[in-house]
Chain A
Amino acid sequence: MTDWELERIRMKKYMEMLRKMENKGKGEERGVRKLVKVEVNDGNFEEEVIERSKDIPVVVDFWAEWCMPCLALAPVLEKLAKEYNGRFVLAKLNVDRNPQTASRYGIMSIPTVIMFKNGKPVDSFVGVMPEPMIREWLDRNL
């Protein structure tokens, strides 16, 4: 193989890696049919979380890119959101970009996960919990 060919393969791999990273956790995601996940921010929190939670429980995941426990918790929450298929909506809030909402709810450690029902926070947990405990927490609160 020539250097040039090698370089092209390397570029291709690199582009694939980038694409994979970009596709991770962007925008809205639907399960089989129901809405299971949204990204929320300071601007739309009222509507996407508070208002929506009057119809359907919303579980807000307060996270940031520099928080590795958050990165570990995220796939577990996403898996459960898909599996519960619409019994709750998972809302991701990046605390780094949305400090207002984070401080309004007194977030001091991340990940913090808060369940909203009827426009109000009803229960929360802090840190990474094993999947069965998150299930229990969901079942208790839904």
Chain B
Amino acid sequence: MYEVLIIGSGAAGLSAAIYSARYNLSTIVLGKDFGLASEAPIVENYPGIREIQGLKLIQEMQEQAKSLGAELILGEEVTRIKREKKYWLAETHSEKYLGKAVIIATGSRKRKLGIKGEEEFVGRGVSYCAICDAPFYRGKVVSVVGGGNSALTSAILLSEFAEKVYLIHRRTEFRAEPILVDRLMNLKKEGRVEMKLGYIPREIVGTDVVEYLHLKKVDEEGVEEKLKTEGIFVEIGEVPNSELARNLGLKLDEEGYILVKEDMSTNLEGVFAAGDVTTGSNKLKQIITACAEGAIAATSAYRYITRKYQ
């Protein structure tokens, strides 16, 4: 029996664990992996640290949470959360964990393109993680699909390895930080990045590995263009991992984010949520906001447990 069960081991879950452990609550974090922040090649906007690899930052948070006494179980997928009398039960494939309060910090996952050839070529040219796979594309031609922060970050990183990077975006403007857009424009000037604006991907074609990406102009019918490319990096945004929350009976907004109040409480007493999976922080999806929400959620869990059990 734990006082606080934290589901999800990204920035939000680990920050919640740090706070929860410092409230002297017995705390366990159940998580699949290192979370999305670990994919950031460099993080330059976490105050106090001028620049750090995303993975390094997450590993530091893990060590910090553990050294304060929180238990951390990685490689564990929670398959269900349910009420068990006045407690909460989290089930994984092999274990069950009981807690007085739950913090759901399951983040989000990459959106798929949903086009022909995408699934077939995963691992053979199609990738959802630029920092993992960039070195395999040294001297090759690659494409990045998307126009937000993650897409631009990926394109900038890939330009260090690839001979050429195409950036395919359905709009003609980017929804990314201006500093990233400036860097991209410089790479364009140097001829290392070529923009394909106003295009959407239609099909991925190849025999053994990816050879072509078929594109279509957004506003013209039927006109297709074949782009010769060996790698396709998909960065068209994220979808919240809120299936567990939905099955538990938490209220979600129309996009699937967990509805939270200012104290990170949800519509169920004793269940809190934090990070990219929530409607909190004006939906700014960043490490600093994930951490802040984790801190608030743990504080609310502490207040809830003290009120209810002491």
* A→B interface (CB under 8 Å): 13, 17, 64, 66-73, 75-76, 79, 95-96, 102, 106-110, 112, 126-128, 130-132
Contacts and interface: CB of A to CB of B under 8 A. Distances in A.
B91 interface: no
Interface stretch (B11-19, B124-132, B165-173, B295-303): B124-132
Q: Count chain A CB atoms within 10 A of each CB in B124, B208, B209 and give the residue with the most.
A: B124
Contacts of B306: none
B24 interface: no
B123 A75 contact: no
Contact of B123 (A67, A68, A127, A130): A127
Question: What are the nearest 8 A-B pairs in CB distance?
Answer: A126-B123, A72-B33, A68-B38, A109-B123, A68-B34, A67-B132, A76-B75, A108-B136
B44 interface: no
Interface string B264-289: 00000000000000000000000000
A64 B93 CA distance: 27
Contacts of B124: 106, 108-109
B231 interface: yes
Given A68-B38, A69-B129, A131-B93, 7 more contacts: A17-B63, A95-B135, A102-B136, A108-B125, A109-B129, A110-B133, A128-B32
9 contacts: A66-B132, A71-B33, A72-B32, A72-B34, A79-B75, A108-B137, A109-B133, A127-B123, A132-B93
A17 B77 CA distance: 26
Nearest to A65: B55
Contacts of A132: 93
Contact of B231 (A96, A108, A131): A108
Given A17-B63, A109-B127, A130 B136 contact: no
A68 B55 contact: yes
Interface in B32-64: 32-34, 38-39, 55, 58, 63
A27 to B, nearest CB: 22
Interface string B86-97: 000000011000
A102 B34 CA distance: 24
Contact of A72 (B63, B74, B122, B209): B74
Contacts of B94: 131
Interface residues of B, number: 29
Contacts of A102: 136
Contact of B122 (A64, A66, A69, A109): A109
A50 B125 CA distance: 26
Nearest to A77: B75
Contacts of A106: 124, 208-209
Contacts of A96: 135
A24 B135 CA distance: 24
A99 B94 CA distance: 37
B184 to A, nearest CB: 22
Nearest to A108: B136
B33 A68 contact: yes
Nearest to A135: B93
B229 to A, nearest CB: 13
Nearest to B41: A66
A113 to B, nearest CB: 10
B186 interface: no
Contacts of A68: 33-34, 38-39, 55, 58, 132
A67 B38 CA distance: 9
Interface in B82-125: 93-94, 122-125
A30 B209 CA distance: 37
Contacts of A107: 136
